[in-house]
Amino acid sequence: MPDAPPPTLRLRIDTEALARNWRALDDMARSARAGAAVKANCYGLGVDICVPVLRDAGSKLFFVAHWSEVAAVARHVPPEQIVVLHGPITSEDAAYAKALGVLPVINSIAQARAWNDAGGEACHLMIDTGINRLGVSPSDLADPAIQALSVQILMSHLACADEDSPMNEAQRRMVEGCRSEVAHSQLSLANSAGVALGLDYHFDVVRPGLSLYGGVPRSELSDVIRQVAYPEAAIMQVRALSTGDQVGYNATFTADRDMRVGVVSLGYADGFLRSWAGNGFLRNDGRQLPLLGKVSMDMIVVDLTNAPELVEGDWLNVPYSLPEASKVSGLSQYELLTILGQRFHNQG
């Protein structure tokens, strides 16, 4: 079968910015060490590109959510540096962890029993301090199955770190109160936003994710974090519209003048959702090209008035500074990263 022709979507990953972001967060953590959340294919940007960069920058801990994510990360780092946040839900999960040497996060008494039954050894333990997702309750820490664990990192997860919420301090105090209840080597609470909350939240290990990849969940990080993901899309066709012509599904745009437009290879199947319509635009050499009409599955239409020389095959930049893109699209910075589709050709 012949090779496919060049793609009309590409995603440039600024690996220097990625490494710089990790180092900046590690520096902010002071005496604590920074790991790296690499779940969901490094938040959509690609394990094979991002994990080696984070490893070489200095990370020694890599957090995934699912057991299915382990193998891809293990191509680049030793298994004992991989942490599986969802823990051993079944005996098969526990056996898999034991066979590979990866470390699970224990989230319940049932998981503790499954891990102990599989032979135990090193693990991490999540305490729920108010987010009410995974994690054992503080009242469960005295259970014999929990006490039998060989806990390396005792951890919890902040619910409101991106806000100035009293819940942050309440969770921090609860973690402090739990640290004497179960033997452990290190303590961890802060995610990306938690790093910006200050030294009281850092403890021994911080677990940045979003900000590694360009996300800015708190204003304290706005001058620290650099953009990492740069999507680009090609013009497939240039069209001449006459006054009164309409564009796209439901004819939501009507031309008020004769105009030149470009049909671009980008749509909601690529993670560019319909919420971009109205305020959204693409760029070329700093010039804004407004979106016209609705976003389709595989294409959008942009106004080429500001770039009259563009033709089929020319590339346009998708504005993906995450804080700004979030304001324009109404999507969270997390969603903007993780919904990027599979048709982008990644360029590290």
> What are the tens digits of pLDDT across the range 194-214?
999 999 999 999 999 999 999
Please give the structure tokens belonging to residue 12: 């440039």
> What are the tens digits of pLDDT across the range 248-273?
999 999 999 999 999 999 999 999 99
| pLDDT above 80 (res 47) | yes
| Packing angle, helices 91-100 and 109-117, rounded to 10 | 50
Instruction: Note the CATH architecture for domain 229-319.
Output: Beta Barrel (2.40)
Given 39, 43, 201, 294, the catalytic residue:
39
Burial 131-169 (b: 16+ CB within 10 A, else e): eeebbbebebbebebbeebebbbbbbbbbebbeeeeebe
Confidence of residue 83 (pLDDT cuts 50, 70, 90): very high
CA gap 191, 182 in Å, rounded:
22
Q: Mind spelling out the 3-state secondary structure of 91-106?
A: HHHHHHHHHHCCEEEE
CA gap 276, 260 in Å, rounded:
21
**Amino acid at residue number 118:** A
Residue 112 CA: distances (Å) to CA of 64, 77, 83, 141, 180: 19, 26, 16, 11, 19
The share of the chain scoring above pLDDT 90, in percent, equals: 96
Please give the structure tokens belonging to residue 309: 């020389």
> What are the tens digits of pLDDT across the range 308-334?
999 999 999 999 999 999 999 999 999
Domain locations in the chain? 15-214, 229-319
Whether 39 sits among the annotated catalytic residues: the reply is yes
Predicted TM-score (pTM) of this structure? 0.95
- The distance in angstroms from the start CA to the end CA of the chain is 26
Whether 268 sits among the annotated catalytic residues: the reply is no
| pLDDT above 80 (res 152) | yes
The CATH superfamily assigned to 15-214 is Alanine racemase (3.20.20.10)
In degrees rounded to 5, what are phi and psi of residue 298?
Answer: -125, 5
Given 60, 201, 249, 294, the catalytic residue:
249
E runs forming strands in the chain: 9-13, 33-34, 36-37, 62-64, 82-84, 103-106, 122-126, 150-155, 184-188, 205-206, 229-241, 246-247, 253-254, 259-264, 281-284, 287-292, 300-303, 315-317, 345-347
| pLDDT above 80 (res 348) | no
> What are the tens digits of pLDDT across the range 209-235?
999 999 999 999 999 999 999 999 999
